[in-house]
Structure 1
Amino acid sequence: MRTLDWERRLYLTAHPFAYPLLRGLARRGPIVRVPGLGVVVNAAPLAREVLMDGETFRKDGPGSPGELWTPVLGPSVLLNMEGDAHRALRRRLADLFTPSYTDALCARVLADPLERLAGRLARGATVDLVDAARVLAGAVISEVIGLDAGAEADWRHLFEQGERIVSMVSLRTRRLGPAQIARARAVLDPLGAIAAKAYAAGDESTVMGRMRALGLAEDEARGAAGAFFLTGTETVATLLPRLVALLADSGQLPRVAAARGLLDRAIDEAMRVTTPTPVMLRSVHRPAVVGGVAIRPGDRVLIATHNCCRGLGPFDLERPHPPELRRLWFGAGPHFCIGYPLATAQIRRVARTLLDAAPLRITGRAAARGVLIPTYSRLTVRSEAVA
C-alpha cells in the first residue's frame, strides 16, 4: 500500500463519515458556505488570513473551541481567550517553552526511556512505536504537570487518561454534554491539584514553578497545565509512528538516517501530511469578507486545516512549503501553538533514537478507531541492523 493510501486509511478509520465530507468540500473551492456546518475554508492563504485576525474571528464565541473546552478547563486558558486578557497571558507565557529549555527538559526526562528503547532495537526486538510514543509523551507531560511518576506504566496510564477525554470529541462536536464534562473533570481535577502543589513549591526548574515565576496566578497555571495535557500528548504520540511510516513507505528513511540535517524538514513535511489539527474553529464577531464570501457575526468558521495542507500534494521532502502554509497545523497569529517548541523537541529526540537503529522494517500495522487525531493502533518495527 502506498504512503498516502495508509494516511487515507487512518483518516477513514477514525472518521468514516466526516472525512469524505471534509475532502469533498475541498473540491468545492477555497471557501464555501455549508448549511448546518458553517463557512469552510480550504485554502492556506485564506486560513492564514482568518487566523491572523483575532478580533473578527475568535475562539471564545458560539461554535468555537472555547464553547467546547471552557466547561472542562476553566475560563483562563489560551485556547478559549481573546483580546487584552489573552494578550496579557500570552506575554507572561512567552518565555515558558524556549528551545533551550525544552531541549534540556526532553534530554533529562527521556534519557532513560530512550536508552531502553534503543536497547530493545539493538537486540533485534520488535517494538510497537504506538505504545512507545505514548509512554514517551506521557513521561514529558508528567514532568510538565509536576507528577512524580517515574515508571512506564504510570506514563502509559496518564496518556490513556488524556486519550479518553479527547476521544469524546469528533470533527462534528460543538460542545460536551454534562456526563462528558463530569468524566473529563474526574481526570483533570486530580491532575490540577498536583499541578497546584508543584506551583506552590515554586521550583523554577519545573514548568509549574516557571509559570509562577513568570507571574501566572495559580488558576492560570492549572488551566495551562490542563491545556498542555489535552493538546500536547496526542500531537506528539500520533505523529511519531506516522513519521516513521511516511519515511519508510516513501523510501526516504535510509536517506534521513544517513543525513540528519534532513530530519527537521522531514518532521515538518510529516506534520503537513498528517495535519495533527485537521480542523480549527472560529466564531465570527464582526462582518468580514474572506475570499469573496461575506461572513456575518454569529457565523461559525471551520478552517479545514487538512485540506489546506494536503493541497500542496503528497509527502515529498524536496518540495518547499510556501509562506502561507508554514506550520499552519500549529495555527497562526495570536493563537499560534505556544507548545510548539516542546512538541518538536520531543519528536526530534525520539526520531534520532529511531534513526540510530536504521535500517528499520515495518513488520505490522493497524489503523485506530474512535480517535480524534487519526493514528495507528499498532505500528511494529524491527531493526535490520542486527546480525
Structure 2
Amino acid sequence: MRIAPADRWERRLYLAAHPFAYPLLRGLARRGPAVRVPGVGVVVNDAALAREVLLDGETFRKDGPGSPGDLWTPVLGPSVLLNMEGEAHRALRRKLTDLFTPAYTERLCARVLAEPLARLAGRLEQGREVDLVDAMRVMAGTVIGHVIGLQARDADGYRHLFEQGERIVAMVSLRTRRLSPSQVARARRVLDPLGDIAAESYTSGDEGTVMGRMRGLGLSEEEARGAAGAFFLTGTETVATLVPRLIALLHDSGELERVAADPSLLDPALEEAMRVVTPTPVMLRSVHVPAAVGGVPVRPGDRVLIATHNCCRAYGPFDLDLVHPPELRRLWFGAGPHFCLGYPLAMAEVRAVARTVLDAAPLTVTHRRAARGVLIPTYRRFVIRRKARS
C-alpha cells in the first residue's frame, strides 16, 4: 500500500506510541462499520454511526462499566463532565456554557502567551533552530497554569507542570479499562496540590481568573476543583501535540507556504490536520439499555469503543482542499452533550502558535523523532528553522 508523503510520519508516530494496538485498530477498519472484538467490545469504524452513538446519551453513557468514568472518577471525583450523564451532567454543562467563549479565550491566550510567542518569533526571525515540541510544552503549561490559578512561573516551571500531566496520561493505553490503586495514588499526588491551588483561586472570586469565573457562574468549589483537574488532564497534551503535527503535515505536503501566504486557509488547515492526526483516537461508551450498533446487538454493560481515528482516516490522506461532510465535522472533539467544552480554548491556543510559526515561513524541518510510551502519538522532538532568503 502506497502511503502519501504527508502521512508517512503520522503512521510512524502512531506505531511508535502503540506498536501493537495501532495495527489492530487499523485492521479493524476493514471489518465494517461496527464489529465485536472479544476482550475489547464493539468497535465503531464509521463516522455517521459514531455520531449516532455519541448523540444517544440515554443508551450509550460515559458513567458505566468500561467507560471514561471507570478511568477518571477515582482520580477526579464524581462531578466532572467527562464521567457524568443525565440531568446532573446537563445542569453542570449549563453552568459552564459561558466559561470558554471564543472572545474570552482569544483574549486569554493573547495575554498569557504574549511573552513565549515573542520568544518563539524572535528565534525564528534570527534563523535559529526551534524545537516546536518543547515550545508547545511550555505554552500549554502556561495556559493551563493560568486556568488553574497558578502564580506566574518561568519556562522551566511550566514545562514541569506539563510533564506532570503527561506522566498521568501515559498510564493509559488504548486497552486500559481502569487505573490500578497505585496509579490512582500517583495521579492524586500530582492533582491534589493543583486542586488546592484551584480552590484558592476559586475562593478569591476574582472574575479575571477562570476559577473566579466558575464561581461567578454558580459552580460549587468541588465542581470547580474537578473541572480544573479535567482541563489539566484532557487539554494540555492534546493541544501541545497538535501544533508540531500540523506544521509537519503542511511541510510534508508542500502546503506550508500556501497557508502562510493566505491567512484564510489556517482554519481549514487546522480542521484537516485534526482529521488526520485525530487528537482523540478512540472514545469509550458503556451500553445502558439493549440496543444495536450498526447491526451488532449490544447489552447493558457492554463496552463500545468508537475508533475515531478509523472514522476520520476513512476520508483519505491529508488534503487541504478536502470538504468535510456533516457526519465528520469535528468528530475528534465529540458530539452532542459531551462535545469538548474546552474546544474554543484549544483552538485559540493552536491558532496563536500556528500564526506565529507560519509568519516565519519559509521553514525547513532540521530534525524530528517520534515519541514512545505516550497515549497521544506525538513527536519527541520536532526542530524547525527559517530558510535563508535568497
Aligned residue number for residue 63 of structure 1: 66
Aligned residue number for residue 172 of structure 2: 169
Q: Deviation digits for residues 66-94 of structure 1, max 9, x if unmatched?
A: 00000000000000000000000000000
Aligned residue number for residue 368 of structure 1: 371
Please state how far the C-alpha of 1:288 moved relative to its aligned partner. 1.2
Aligned residue number for residue 248 of structure 2: 245
5+ long unaligned stretches in structure 2: none
5+ long unaligned stretches in structure 1: none
* 1:156 maps onto 2:196 in alignment: no
Structure 2 counterpart of 1:305, which letter?
Answer: T
CA contact (8 A) 1:38 1:302 kept: yes
Q: Deviation digits for residues 278-313 of structure 1, max 9, x if unmatched?
A: 000000000112222212111100000000000000
Q: Deviation digits for residues 219-269 of structure 1, max 9, x if unmatched?
A: 000000000000100111000000000000000000000001000000010
Q: 1:284 aligns with which of 284, 287, 290?
A: 287
Aligned residue number for residue 213 of structure 1: 216
Q: Which runs of 4+ in 1 moved over 6 A?
A: none
Alignment of 1:1-387 (within 5 A): 2-385=5-388
Q: Deviation digits for residues 137-196 of structure 1, max 9, x if unmatched?
A: 011000100001331111100000000000000000000001100100000000000000
For 2:194 and 2:247, the matched residues in 1 are separated by: 32
Structure 2 counterpart of 1:268, which letter?
Answer: E
Q: CA RMSD in A?
A: 0.9
For 1:254 and 1:238, the matched residues in 2 are separated by: 21
Structure 1 residues 212 and 343: alpha-carbon distance in aligned structure 2, compared to 1, 3 A threshold: same
For 2:52 and 2:299, the matched residues in 1 are separated by: 16
For 1:345 and 1:76, the matched residues in 2 are separated by: 26
When the two structures are superposed, what TM-score results if normalisation uses the length of structure 1? 0.99
Please state how far the C-alpha of 1:385 moved relative to its aligned partner. 4.7
For 2:384 and 2:203, the matched residues in 1 are separated by: 43
For 2:271 and 2:97, the matched residues in 1 are separated by: 22
Please state how far the C-alpha of 1:56 moved relative to its aligned partner. 0.5
CA contact (8 A) 1:239 1:271 kept: yes
For 1:181 and 1:220, the matched residues in 2 are separated by: 20
When the two structures are superposed, what TM-score results if normalisation uses the length of structure 2? 0.98
Structure 1 counterpart of 2:303, which letter?
Answer: R
Matched position secondary structure for 1:298: coil
Q: Deviation digits for residues 12-55 of structure 1, max 9, x if unmatched?
A: 00000000000000011110011111000000000000000001
For 1:290 and 1:274, the matched residues in 2 are separated by: 25
Could you tell which deviates more after superposition, 56-65 or 291-300?
A: 291-300
